[in-house]
Amino acid sequence: MDLHPLRFVDSSGEIPICRMCQRFCAIRPEQAGFCRTVVNKAGALYSTIYGLIAEHGVDPIEKKPVRCYRPGTKVLSLGTFGCNLRCSWCQNWEIAYVDASAPIRARRYSPAEVVAIAQASGCDGIAWTYNEPSIWVDFIADCAEAAHAAGLYTALISNGLFSPDAIHALHPLIDVYRADFKSLDAAMYREQGHLSSHQGVLDNIIAMHRAGVHVELVTVVMPTYITGEHLARMADWIIRELDVMTPWHLTRFVPYAQLTHLPPTPRAALDEAGAIAAAAGLRRVFIGDWYESTQHEPESVV
């Protein structure tokens, strides 16, 4: 198996700790971390997925969804294997739940090759998407550096679980941070993502915004979980911690995997969610999926 020495490690204790994401896995020899992409070999930690591409494609940036950064441009979308959450409705489970601590038949690409593919495909940027980018920070950092040198922009499409170390290392290299803003309640992350605290997710959104990275947020309006009262609190949080111009995408829940007992979000509920966000004062609220998304009144001033 192709192993790449991990950059974000705390080796001060008896058991090395991976510091790429907020799980901070302590990984014993011959074991793997939660995401199954970091392994301990003879006491040192390695990534098994450096440059390992599960899926790639050329997309309009709006598909991510990112609506207010370089609209009309194209990105090379890249994803690898594994994830650090276990959302019960995951639609990318075929790549996200793969055990990458065992050998996988997929091609590896160098950062220079990724940039060359983006340029040859007529892309203006590169987006790390499909599965969760906070599990292959080393590769993203190397690619992003090469992308900027080639005049391409960079976008992270993330569940927000980067560690503070990773955010600190990445923010100068990243132009767009499109983060999931699943909820303000820890219970949602605990029940749906098996994550004990979501504070780090919120801290990362604030850190990227303050660092001058273009931030857009996505919330899946899940029936029973995301109520009108909850949406109003989320809107207030965005205005308080970021600003009224932060783009907020309110998207439909589609029953999937372990949540097939829940109904899909009706269009009327999305419209209502958009009205709540706009009434709170947010100026860039998008409802629905990207191809049918509409900007909710009041119109953006941009």
Binding-site ranges for ligand SF4 (CB under 6 A): 18, 20-21, 23-25, 33-35, 37-38, 84, 135
Cross-strand bridge partners of residue 60: 74
Q: Can you read off the two tokens belonging to residue 250?
A: 């309110």
Q: Nearest-CB residue to ligand SF4?
A: 33
* Minimum separation from the CB atom of position 24 to ligand SF4 (A): 5
* Minimum separation from the CB atom of position 197 to ligand SF4 (A): 14
* Minimum separation from the CB atom of position 37 to ligand SF4 (A): 6
* Minimum separation from the CB atom of position 229 to ligand SF4 (A): 33
Indicate the residue among 135 and 238 with the shorter CB distance to ligand SF4: 135
Indicate the residue among 33 and 193 with the shorter CB distance to ligand SF4: 33
Indicate the residue among 37 and 265 with the shorter CB distance to ligand SF4: 37
CB-based contact 23:16 (threshold 8 Å) = no
Q: Can you read off the two tokens belonging to residue 286?
A: 């998008």
* DSSP code, position 277: H
d(CA 37, CA 40): 10
Neighbouring C-alpha atoms within 13 Å toward the C-beta of 59: 22
d(CA 104, CA 116): 24
d(CA 288, CA 18): 37
CB-based contact 135:35 (threshold 8 Å) = yes
Indicate the residue among 38 and 127 with the shorter CB distance to ligand SF4: 38
Indicate the residue among 135 and 280 with the shorter CB distance to ligand SF4: 135
* Minimum separation from the CB atom of position 34 to ligand SF4 (A): 4
CB-based contact 153:147 (threshold 8 Å) = yes
